[in-house]
Amino acid sequence: MEKKNTIFNFIYPYDNDLLKDLSGEDLQILLVLLDEYKLKLRKDTNIPKDVTFGIEIEVENLKDSKSQEIYDNLPDEEWKVTNDLSLRKGIEVVSPILIDEKKTWKEISKICKYLKTISEISSNTAGHIHVGAQIMEDDTNKWLNLLKLWSVYENIIFRFSNGEYINSRMSQQRFAPAVKEQLEKEYDILKKCGYDVTNTLRILKHDRNQAINFENIYLDRYNEFYKNNTIEIRCPNGTLNPIIWQNNINFFTKFLLYCNDNAFDYDTVLKREEKNNKNKVNYTKYETIYLEQALELADLLFNNNKDKVYFLRQYLKSFEIDKSYNSALKKAKVFTK
């Protein structure tokens, strides 16, 4: 049970209120309660069990630990450790295929706790998420929904992906840059040509080093469960906070699930695109907060208030904005327990 006087006494966790319709005093109350609320690790997030995912935890400045010691502290033998030449004295810890269950979150918590003792997150480290491509359907329109939704809300996605930091890591521009303009061009081409999914993926599979990577998808079994057949989300900052990992996984899996929803609200997405163009939203300044747009995205993706609160808390970060524009990562005020 949530304690009294929390945000979930204002909006009940398993209701599905339209937050974008709040205004005046109700919106102010929501924002105050959001700023006071701290996220905690959940036992599960109701991600469907046929949705699979995996993570890559990058760390740097590794202490002089013996390699065997690292392996001894992995959750089990299915977790792996690899070297990454893009990191300074760093490694990448790679999970096996995971699902939303208590065991998964325990394992992620365990490895994060250990890695904190021997390494650190830096302006080079990322937190990649691989989602099993079988999450997408054998329908070109569902893939087009993904391109459109990402391109319209990329500014919201990136700020959320900063995790517990108020800015993006320095290496993001090299290894996981924004794809809004690219996806817009590809969307227009695919919409006109009416390609099937296989040919759609041939166009999308052109560069792994971008915010969302389609290079790993198997053309002949794109909607089947198959090891390494994944959509890779590369934009999130590195983190050793299991709550941030869980929140990122919940957001991106439900983002992809929504693209396959027959109730996909194309009209709202198009209206947002038109409004952003009219207001000249600057997509090069992803640290800016767009509250109305974030509330709208929360209502689109999530069917319960708890998911919406967890998303918005990480997105807003106490309304902190990075104005220094240097390369160092800056921690936001703590918003997790």
- Please check whether residue 274 lies inside any domain of the structure: no
pTM beyond 0.85: the answer is: yes
Kindly state whether residue 38 falls inside one of the protein's structural domains: no
Could you write out the DSSP letters of every residue in 285-328? -TTS--HHHHHHHHHHH-SSHHHHHHHHHHHHGGG----S--SS
| Model pLDDT for residues 48-95, shown as the tens digit of each residue | 999 999 999 999 999 886 667 899 999 999 999 998 888 999 999 999
> Crossing angle of helices 242-259/305-316, nearest 10°?
120
Secondary structure in 3-state letters for 167-181: CCCCCHHHHCCCCHH
Whether 30 maps to a domain, the answer reads no
Looking at residue 221, which CATH number applies to its domain? 3.30.590
How many domains is the chain partitioned into structurally?
Answer: 1
Would you call 186 helix, strand, or coil by DSSP?
A: helix
Give CA 152 to chain center in angstroms: 15
The answer to whether position 3 is within a domain reads: no
Instruction: For residues 22 and 292, give the distance between their C-alpha atoms in angstroms, rounded to a whole number.
Output: 10
Q: Predicted confidence band at 1 (pLDDT cuts at 50, 70, 90)?
A: very low
In a domain, 87, yes or no: yes
| Cβ count within 10 A of residue 75 | 18
Mean pLDDT of the chain: 94
Q: Which of 107-116, 155-164, 255-264, 281-290 is predicted least confidently? A: 281-290
Query: Count of CB atoms within 10 A of residue 79's CB?
Result: 19
Look at strands 127-132 and 80-83 and give their pairing.
unpaired
User: Is residue 215 assigned to a domain?
Assistant: yes
Residue 191 lies in a domain: yes
The larger pLDDT score, comparing residue 335 to residue 285, is at 335
Reduce the DSSP state of residue 184 to 3 states and report it: helix
Record the tokens describing residue 263, joined without a space. Answer: 């109730």
Write out the residue range of the structural domain in which residue 177 sits: 50-153+161-261
Q: Which of 211, 243, 196, 227 lies closest to 132, judged by CA?
A: 227
Is 44 among the domain residues?
no
> How far is C-alpha 169 from the chain's CA centre?
15
